[in-house]
A and B are shown apart, each in its own frame.
Chain A
């Protein structure tokens, strides 16, 4: 193994409050704007920042070594934003990323959009050109506030040194409160070097921002009444349950009510999937019995999900026999996509706490056994037949069994993502990190870096495709520099698999630009100083997983699978969840 580049011995750093500062006449420490940024981050409890230096943030980076913060140097700013996203999902805390002005800032945009669509709390700090150059097309000037307007919850341009601390305070508060999301703070270079007094505000408030946390009790009662009347109720469980830190309250609600659960992609993990009431994922690549239950239910209780089109399928045929209760902290989600009979605006945890005493224990065995009867046994039998080569099902199950389902699992976007969502069996919250709303290829590796930095005590796997991995594999260098113990499973079919699947099924096998050449991933891993393992047979899967787990460093396993394997079942694009396909035109059942 090649060791990380030798770094100058880092002097022990002290928190800002234990360092010596000149004081102003009120006794507040006098700092540069850059020091105010780092001290504000410390005051916010930040320990890790993902970033990349550049011209406009040189003064900020000048203040970093003395600050009590760990900076992870990424290889591309987009992965800094997504590592911050992964850190936030894995820890439940706000992820922080940093970039310079111009190209550094624009490279963050995809990561911010990813956090926006999945409601992940992230704060991005960008440098801006000197104030005298703003609007003059200065070198590396870009209007990042304007550019990120639609992909952030809020953003700021800080014009005065005295505004830095209050703005950072407000940015973190906005990012984590209500419906979480990304917030960007843009600071001109000369503001970093201007001196000012540091006073981190203890409280913050905005007249126009007062999210409803506690739901209206009348709505809770109305919801409880519908639940009491329902014969075939179904829960649609979303990411909001975990964002509200409400998994215990959710479990209590499910166990008391006996209502089965359909999970959205990001809802996986909010309740143990090994429980019989956990049906699995719904929607485009959901299980057949889950979509059948959606069609048959007479009450759908959506908790913390936003009726995304990949989950609902064609809306006019979605849960068409059901009344709908929608619990969401964002009132704009109520009625946005799906008509709702009882809206409950508020925090999912509080809503569940209030609902629990109002519902009855009910025997629902007739309903749950009907759902079980809808299971696709043909597909399951086919999956469990010992295959000739490595197959996604056996790889994903292999990782799940080896890690006892306790690992954090990140994915990229595409076929491997759906296979992982279908087969891993998530039993723990905040250990399934996947790009849901935006569908960002390349997410897997940076998210895993963020997750490992935030939860070093947990085993971290990232399952990626050979396409997405080629977008972000430059972050292998970051893994090596940080000496991260990560396992990367490449599901390598030589294609951009999901696009190929659509071209196969809906475009008469017109394979257009999906045949993607990849480097030798084993040699590539070795070039970075990581370990590379290639798996080409079924028998090699389990030993490779065990070997990767035993190596305390970054390991890349190249699982070479059959090139034209499809994800089943599938709701055709624009189709109803009742129109699932279980095989392709040729009738093959992969």
Chain B
């Protein structure tokens, strides 16, 4: 994972892929070979059997995001790429944070967790395990607050995203059944960009 470059903006892509061996390697290998920066990537099942859903946060100049989408489409298993950066989206990340918790700080830590709607899911005489869910910025803020107590161990899931409203990123059972192939959709997008 590359460190986000402040001059480049972050974009969130939802990538639907055929659930086949090696598909994640193909996607990540293409990104690496073309020097595209992945800030976070998550993969899991979607609502359709045989289709996995990748949420990928990339750091790239705006015009490169379209190129990333086009290159993703060249991976045979990739069914659909949706850029949800500029649409209202629910995006969430899960973090598990094991904090050093001396008895005198225990209640402070629990109060901080409460502010961020995080839960204490395990406790020992010397540590607390905090589970937090939320937007990436909220998790960042929570971690900043907990850092002073000593973070012993931490894992972040990477971002999951889904557009608000009734629109879906899913693929129709037969791609292109709406009369336009995905290339034509890209073309239309490119043409719109070019005519501006």
Contacts and interface: CB of A to CB of B under 8 A. Distances in A.
Partners in one complex: yes
A148 B61 CA distance: 29
Interface string A420-457: 00000000000000000000000000000000000000
Contacts of A341: 194
B187 A212 contact: yes
A206 interface: yes
B74 A332 contact: yes
A335 B191 CA distance: 11
Contact of A216 (B22, B74, B176, B184): B184
B184 A208 contact: no
A311 to B, nearest CB: 19
A153 B74 CA distance: 8
B187 A206 contact: no
Given A207-B174, A210-B182, A343 B73 contact: no
Nearest to A145: B22
Nearest to A330: B74
Interface in A339-367: 340-343, 345
A208 B175 contact: yes
Interface in B13-43: 17-18, 22, 25-26, 29-30, 33
B141 interface: no
A398 B177 CA distance: 56
Contacts of A216: 184, 187-188, 191
A336 B181 CA distance: 21
B66 A146 contact: no
Contact of A210 (B71, B176, B190): B176
Nearest to B29: A149
A516 B73 CA distance: 45
Given A207-B174, A335-B67, A340 B183 contact: no
Contacts of A342: 191, 194
B131 interface: no
Of B76, B78, B182, B188, most buried by chain A (CB within 10 Å of CB) is B76
Contacts of A211: 181, 183
B154 interface: no
B106 interface: no
Contacts of B77: 208
A153 B174 CA distance: 22
Contact of B181 (A174, A212, A343): A212
A219 interface: yes
A331 interface: yes
A212 to B, nearest CB: 4
B71 A332 contact: yes
Interface residues of A, number: 29
A331 B174 contact: no
Contacts of A208: 17-18, 73, 75-79, 175
A345 B17 CA distance: 23
Contacts of A25: none
B119 interface: no
A219 B191 contact: yes
A112 interface: no
A311 B27 CA distance: 29
The B interface, classified by DSSP as helix, strand, loop or mixed, is helix
A64 to B, nearest CB: 29
A207 B26 contact: no
Given A207-B18, A208-B79, A332 B73 contact: yes
B29 to A, nearest CB: 5
A150 interface: yes
A342 B193 CA distance: 10
Q: Give the interface size class of chain B.
A: 20 to 34
B183 A331 contact: yes
A149 B26 contact: yes
A331 B190 contact: yes
Contacts of A345: 183-184, 186-187, 190
Contacts of A219: 187, 191
Contacts of B174: 207
B63 A212 contact: no
Contacts of A150: 29-30, 33
B188 A332 contact: no
Nearest to B188: A216
A325 to B, nearest CB: 10
A149 B183 contact: no
B25 A149 contact: yes
Nearest to B193: A335
Nearest to B32: A150
Interface string A153-170: 110000000000000000
B194 A207 contact: no
Of A153, A208, A212, A335, most buried by chain B (CB within 10 Å of CB) is A208
A211 to B, nearest CB: 7
Contacts of B74: 330, 332
B107 to A, nearest CB: 51
Interface in A154-213: 154, 174, 206-212
A538 B50 CA distance: 68
Given A212-B181, A340-B194, A146 B76 contact: no
B171 interface: yes
A334 interface: yes
A222 B188 CA distance: 13
A405 B54 CA distance: 54
Given A332-B73, A332-B74, A343 B187 contact: yes
Contact of A335 (B33, B63, B188): B63
A210 B177 CA distance: 11
A218 interface: yes
B1 to A, nearest CB: 20
A336 B67 contact: yes
Nearest to A149: B29
Interface in A213-233: 216, 218-219, 222
B155 to A, nearest CB: 27
Given A149-B26, A216-B184, A343 B191 contact: yes
A340 B195 CA distance: 10
Contacts of B18: 207-208
Given A335-B190, A341-B194, A345-B190, 5 more contacts: A212-B181, A219-B191, A342-B191, A343-B194, A345-B183
10 contacts: A146-B25, A207-B174, A208-B73, A208-B78, A210-B176, A211-B181, A212-B181, A216-B191, A336-B67, A342-B194
Interface of A: 145-146, 149-150, 153-154, 174, 206-212, 216, 218-219, 222, 330-332, 334-336, 340-343, 345
